Structure 1
Amino acid sequence: MSAEALLMSVIAFSLGLYYVAKWVHGVPVPPDPWENDIPADELVETAPELLCENCLSPRASPDQHYCPTCGNATGDFTRYIPFVNIRFNYSLLPALWRKLTSTDEPLRSRIIALLVLLLIAPAMLAVGVPFLLYAKLWKKPDEPAKEPAPPANQPGEPHGG
């Protein structure tokens, strides 16, 4: 193919593309049939009811971090809060166990859940057991509570006895 033929085909393609775009732009848009069905005063925005994504039970407030019914993380920022997110971070094991014991799950997903549990269990033991041993072995014994000293007598008060 010569350079002139290539140039002519590029120009023809560009002109064809231009006319197709111009034709699409000129197509009339049908009016919105639902534009005037609902009066504007009825479209008052109300706050949506907050629901748990797992069990669809209503949440008491937007500040609630976990669903009281199923324990699912419902807060928007629950996974970012250091001490509140412990249940969120470690909720994988119960979910895998439910999937493994459920008869509704397909066999393939149950096998994958079993393999993941078998891979996670040694890691949990390797981290959890030394931590528990450390906490048990090097725990300071509880000191007995000291009784408070009797108050000193104020001047002018009789001595007890």
Structure 2
Amino acid sequence: MIKHTIAVLVNDQPGVLQRVSGLFGRRGFNIESITVGASEEAGLSRMVIVTTGDEKLLEQVSKQLYKLIDVIKVVDVSSSPMVARELGLIKVSADPSVRPEILGVVDTFRAAVVDIGPANMIVQVVGDSDKIDAMIELLKPYGIRELTRTGLTAMNRSSLRA
């Protein structure tokens, strides 16, 4: 099975996310992550969907997406070199005695502490999924109290031609 990252340009209308995700569910395709936000053009949103399957599944998904009225464009971003990022927020137990150790992990990953409380701190890490997974593993011994991740967002790299 191959992991595919698909960018879908859609009209910014109520119910579009439900129709797109419903299409995946009805066809038995799993969505590993989905992010939605504004695009470069007013009135359009970009969905970045990560799913797993073979080339036939990808072709079938693309054809089904194009049948939806609000879908403008479907691109397999993972078919070319791409830049992909995810954001993770990790609330970790951080008594004052272990904070220097945690800050060492934060610095190593070029992450940032975005909140500090009496017994916890929240760390923000941005990068590919492997980077976030690795940071989570290193912070587990301190006690992860809460964790949230955005899901992947991606776009193709610029070509060498202008």
The structure that is helix-richer by fraction is 1
State the TM-score bracket (shorter-chain normalisation): under 0.3
Which entry has the higher C-alpha Rg, 1 or 2?
Answer: 1
Highest RCO, 1 vs 2 (Cα 8 Å, sep ≥ 6): 2
